[in-house]
Amino acid sequence: MSPEKHVNIYEKPESLENELERLKHAEFSHPFYASAKMLEGVDLKDKNFVDIGAGTDSRLSKFVVERGAKYTAIDYNLGHLKSMKESVDQGDNIFFVRGDIKSLPLKNESAPLTHERFVLMHLPEKERSKAIEQILSATKDEALFLEYNWETLQSETHPSLVEEFKSVALEIMDKLKIESKMGKKLFTEVANSVKDFSEEFDITEARFERNGKFGKEILAMIKSLTELAEKVFKDEALKNKLINLGERINTELSELVMSPPDIIGVKAVRKNN
Ligand SMILES: C[S@@+](CC[C@H](N)C(=O)[O-])C[C@H]1O[C@@H](n2cnc3c(N)ncnc32)[C@H](O)[C@@H]1O
């Protein structure tokens, strides 16, 4: 398969096993923390919270349902929906819908709260603006967008080792047409869409940054990238480079202090609601 034609790994029917595992067992609490933080002060009671490109991690669904909301997961990938479904208590307040962020199965202003995290980065620019417009149209009260900015990944204790990881990760993201600086562009892209909505929304930006011993997160990422190198690119040299890098990072784990990619959050609040 040609990587050039491969725009969004999640829209392929044969989703990568390891990616599913990584999402399912994600130890990273930071994305969940960032979403929860952006919901601070938001009244969730009896509201429908629609999570677009919801993935497999059920933490956010549990969080909003515990606060009185109904949670609807929309995802293109049936396997991801099934995986999340298996990890939540089946109740009246959680729903699963297969759908595409670029043509959402939602009526205008039908969803009080909408949320997307790390989906836009997988879409080319034109599809991103379509997706943002779809989300804003469907949103009655507030829309939350969260995306990574890989530019901020760095380490003071092991600069060259982390730089080596960053460089190979960015090279692979480039091949997969993943926008690694999506977080950096997020406010502008949402603001551009808001203009098309006759400025019906107030938008604000939040930054979630960290510094500490987060080497394990890199190791999980290397595992996924190694599988991509093997199964998608069929590139033995790249695979071995990643394995070697993983081994070297593993030996430094207890000393490695780093800043993972920042998460940028953008909140769009419909005026006069
Ligand atoms: C990187 S994962 C993020 C999952 C989740 N939002 C999170 O933060 O853990 C991207 C998710 O977006 C979904 N996705 C990708 N393209 C999509 C599309 N066009 N429409 C709906 N979902 C999509 C994938 O199946 C996957 O579950």
What tens digit of pLDDT does each residue of 95-107 get?
A: 999 999 999 999 9
Ligand 1 centre distance from Cα of residue 119 (Å): 5
Instruction: Report d(CA 140, CA 28) in Å as an integer.
Output: 30
Ligand 1 centre distance from Cα of residue 110 (Å): 21
Instruction: Report d(CA 49, CA 162) in Å as an integer.
Output: 37
CB 265 near ligand 1, within 6 Å: no
pLDDT of the residue at 273: 63
Best residue among 76, 148, 178, 224 to mutate for probing ligand 1, ranked by most atoms within 8 Å of CB: 76
pLDDT of the residue at 197: 79
Closest CA to 145 of 81, 74, 53: 53
Number of other CB atoms surrounding residue 4 within 10 Å:
9
**139-149 and 70-75 as β-strands: parallel, antiparallel, unpaired?**
unpaired
Ligand 1 centre distance from Cα of residue 75 (Å): 6
Instruction: Report d(CA 136, CA 190) in Å as an integer.
Output: 9
What tens digit of pLDDT does each residue of 61-77 get?
A: 999 999 999 999 999 99
pLDDT of the residue at 11: 65
Instruction: Report d(CA 144, CA 14) in Å as an integer.
Output: 29
pLDDT of the residue at 10: 64
Ligand 1 centre distance from Cα of residue 45 (Å): 26
Q: Which residues of the chain have pLDDT under 70?
A: 1-28, 90, 273
Position in ligand 1 atom list of the atom nearest CA 15: 25
Three-state SS for 135?
Answer: helix
Residues 6+ apart with CB under 8 A from 198: none
Token digits of residue 138: 């469907």
Position in ligand 1 atom list of the atom nearest CA 102: 19
Instruction: Report d(CA 51, CA 90) in Å as an integer.
Output: 17
Nearest protein Cα to ligand 1, atom 1: 118
Domains of the chain, with CATH numbers? 9-270 (3.40.50.150)
